[in-house]
Structure 1
Amino acid sequence: MRITRRNLLEGAAAFGLASAVSRLPAYAQDASAAPEKAELMFGVGGKPLFYYLPLTIAERKGFFEEEGIKATINDFGGGAKSLQALVGGSVDIVTGAYEHTIRMQNKGQDIKAVCELGRFPGICIGVRKDLANEIKTIADLKGKNVGVTAPGSSTALLLQYALIRNGQSADAASIIGVGGGASAVAAIKKGEIAALVHLDPVITRLEVDGDITLLLDTRTEEGTRQLFGGTNPAATVYLQQSFIDANPITTQRVVNAFTKSLAWIHKASADDIADVVPEEFLLGDRELYKTGFEKSRAMYSERGLIAEEGFKSLLEMLKTLDPELANANIAFSQTFDPRFLKTA
């Protein structure tokens, strides 16, 4: 899907960001200009998850190479670790949760998203089937061991917010990091945790095998609004403002690659997706993987633009969860730079 200048300016006007669009250096839009930094290290927290599928597609379909970028991807145990790597300087760019930009702006660190990948969180809360009669609501998770990708990650935050919205404290359940992929599946099957807050294909694997019953499903707009009362931006591409300033052409090329990926995903069949991803992503069951993708397809951003409604919804969640953010005065424009989408 090609985003025209008119598209972006209309969106930017609604966001109060139109003036920012005009400040993008002209050479960043020059398709013939070489990236300032052609070799990039990307951080991600759970690459096999559908949450991060646009990264895998950009890599496997050669969209980074088309933009003159050599991408190396470092897969961490969770999104919080990817953020730490960005702050520490061991990665250049992160595909991670949008909420990290808000947290870092509140700490005085200028980190911005440049492209939305997921417009819904895509996170589900599932309880072990053998405990379904005991744990019937999110409030019933009190005192239970609940698996998340990693403490401090978006899965952990969603669990804490869901507990609060259901009359419990944020620490009512014991949060256990179980990683992504096969390790998360095993944690449920071995009975190590009572419930799991996770994403596809893990959730679909456990659903199909009859191991879990869902209490919440934010792969859909309905489920997202059920918890948040509105939309809630999820996976984004974010980086340091200092990197953007020093490498506008590189940043443009990265955004180009991700918008190509999003456009391809929206046109692709489930078979197309399964053909492209690494074999290990399928968890030994191609048909199940395809089913999981179809359940998650609606969550992918169509144009890469974050809606201000979603920013407000997310900020409200963070203010509820984190005393440090309770009185935060963060502007939408501090967390999202839409300029590079105009020629993507």
Structure 2
Amino acid sequence: MNKNIRRTLLSLASLAVASATLAALPGQAVAAGKITIMVGGITKMVYLPAKLAEQLGYFKEEGLDVELQSQPAGVDAENELLAGAVQAVVGFYDHSIDLQTKGKEITAITIFGQVPGEVELVSTKAAPNFKSMADAKGKTLGVTGLGSSTNFLTQYLASRHGISSKEFSVLPVGADNTFIAAIKQGRIDAGMTTEPTASQLLKTGDAQVLVDMRTVEGTVKALGGLYPASSLYVQRSWLNGHKDDAQKLARAFVKTLKFINTHSAEQIADKMPKDYYGNNKALYVQALNNSLPMYSPDGKMPKGGPETVLAVLSGFNPNVKGKHVDLSKTYTDEFVNQVK
């Protein structure tokens, strides 16, 4: 065969393959494409279902190639999603509401936490004069970051006692070790954090529980209703073209939530990587035991939950205040409802 003819045929064949690949892109993922999920702090117990699903092999059972990555703050994870660097985020549901007011369509497809899993801790030194959020006036309160979910929740808790955000100071102290240091050094009188940080401070006696949002009862008492928090959310544009992948992810996570709801804290801890609890597995188990009530049993959006979240954000998030939000577009139970 003439060399020029052979080259022409090879070029045409290459173009045909490329065209077929491009034609497939708008629909389902081409061949088993990798799905990267960014977690807003992968060792936080509020986001435990992400790593546990991987450890239990549920992604592989669904034929998914999932890579978990971690960013310490939810807002960073959110930015990665909007930039198209990742396909999904495990973070707080409230980002879906916040982003809609900025013209971004984000949808939560599985709810992990029916409550925030957050605890407002007061330092033992400040405790004698700080019995409830009604005593927040003139105090310094720690949050993970300015504009974070913990920041809005803190302002909302104070407002329920008639205290405005101008009557106390807010200090961003992060989470984990930086939060612990802020309490021990007296830089904050109280602060909002999650497990296992809360159990660490309670065990050393450096802090006491002021407001407990790790349980349904505690959350309803503090916020007036359920507050769906940790969730798996994606961009609506990705969801429309990858419904099969979304269904598989939902199935993997609902199976994980059912595992959590049918096993003890010890049994769950046994499935986690050793570096998650280090040399103190007993403390990790205790913290996990405190956290079990927050996990959803089925991944569905709790009734009235979106309205409670919107009420909190409308009061203190300048992006949401006074804006119309279509809550029906911020989440969907379409996929979790299909899981048997």
Same fold (TM over 0.5): yes
Contact 2:89 2:233 in 1 (8 A): yes
| 1:207-218 equivalence runs, <5 A | 207-218=202-213
Assess, with a 3 A threshold, how the Cα gap between structure 1 residues 34 and 83 changes in structure 2: closer, same or farther: closer
Equivalent residue number for residue 9 of structure 1: none
Residue 220 of structure 2 corresponds to residue 225 of structure 1: yes
How many residues get paired? 312
* C-alpha separation in 2, matches of 1:95 and 1:309: 21
Shift in Å, 1:99: 0.8
Equivalent residue number for residue 136 of structure 1: 131
Contact 2:141 2:171 in 1 (8 A): yes
Contact 2:98 2:319 in 1 (8 A): no
Residue 62 of structure 2 corresponds to residue 64 of structure 1: no
Letter in 2 for 1:73: L
Residue 198 of structure 2 corresponds to residue 177 of structure 1: no
* C-alpha separation in 2, matches of 1:123 and 1:66: 32
Equivalent residue number for residue 257 of structure 1: 252
Contact 2:147 2:317 in 1 (8 A): no
Shift in Å, 1:172: 4.0
Aligned-partner SS, 1:203: helix
* C-alpha separation in 1, matches of 2:150 and 2:31: 35
Equivalent residue number for residue 302 of structure 2: 307
* C-alpha separation in 1, matches of 2:135 and 2:66: 44
Query: Which blocks of at least 5 consecutive residues in structure 1 are unaligned?
Result: 1-32
Letter in 2 for 1:228: L
Shift in Å, 1:88: 2.0
Aligned residue among 263, 270, 294 for 1:268 = 263
Equivalent residue number for residue 233 of structure 2: 238
Contact 1:46 1:181 in 2 (8 A): no
Equivalent residue number for residue 46 of structure 1: 41
Assess, with a 3 A threshold, how the Cα gap between structure 1 residues 35 and 136 changes in structure 2: closer, same or farther: farther
Q: Which moved more, 1:196-205 or 1:157-166?
A: 157-166
| 1:100-115 equivalence runs, <5 A | 100-115=95-110
* C-alpha separation in 2, matches of 1:332 and 1:162: 23
Cα RMSD for the two superposed structures: 2.0
Contact 1:187 1:193 in 2 (8 A): yes
| 1:55-204 equivalence runs, <5 A | 55-204=50-199
Assess, with a 3 A threshold, how the Cα gap between structure 1 residues 334 and 263 changes in structure 2: closer, same or farther: same
Assess, with a 3 A threshold, how the Cα gap between structure 1 residues 180 and 324 changes in structure 2: closer, same or farther: closer
* C-alpha separation in 1, matches of 2:250 and 2:60: 13
* C-alpha separation in 1, matches of 2:92 and 2:310: 13
Q: Which moved more, 1:173-182 or 1:256-265?
A: 173-182
Letter in 2 for 1:122: G
Q: Which moved more, 1:146-155 or 1:123-132?
A: 146-155
* C-alpha separation in 1, matches of 2:273 and 2:144: 20
Residue 286 of structure 2 corresponds to residue 291 of structure 1: yes
Contact 2:32 2:65 in 1 (8 A): no
Q: Which moved more, 1:175-184 or 1:252-261?
A: 175-184
Shift in Å, 1:166: 2.1
Q: Which moved more, 1:43-52 or 1:140-149?
A: 140-149
Q: Which moved more, 1:96-105 or 1:161-170?
A: 161-170
Assess, with a 3 A threshold, how the Cα gap between structure 1 residues 150 and 281 changes in structure 2: closer, same or farther: farther
Aligned-partner SS, 2:125: helix
Using the aligned pairs only, state the percent identity.
34
- Of structures 1 and 2, the one with the larger relative CO (CA 8 A, separation 6+) is 1
Q: Which moved more, 1:310-319 or 1:33-42?
A: 33-42
Shift in Å, 1:171: 4.9
TM superposition score normalised by structure 2: 0.85
Aligned-partner SS, 2:35: strand
Question: Which of these two proteins has the greater Rg computed from alpha carbons?
Answer: 2
Shift in Å, 1:224: 0.7
Aligned-partner SS, 2:170: strand
* C-alpha separation in 2, matches of 1:301 and 1:64: 19
Assess, with a 3 A threshold, how the Cα gap between structure 1 residues 141 and 281 changes in structure 2: closer, same or farther: farther
* C-alpha separation in 2, matches of 1:221 and 1:176: 27
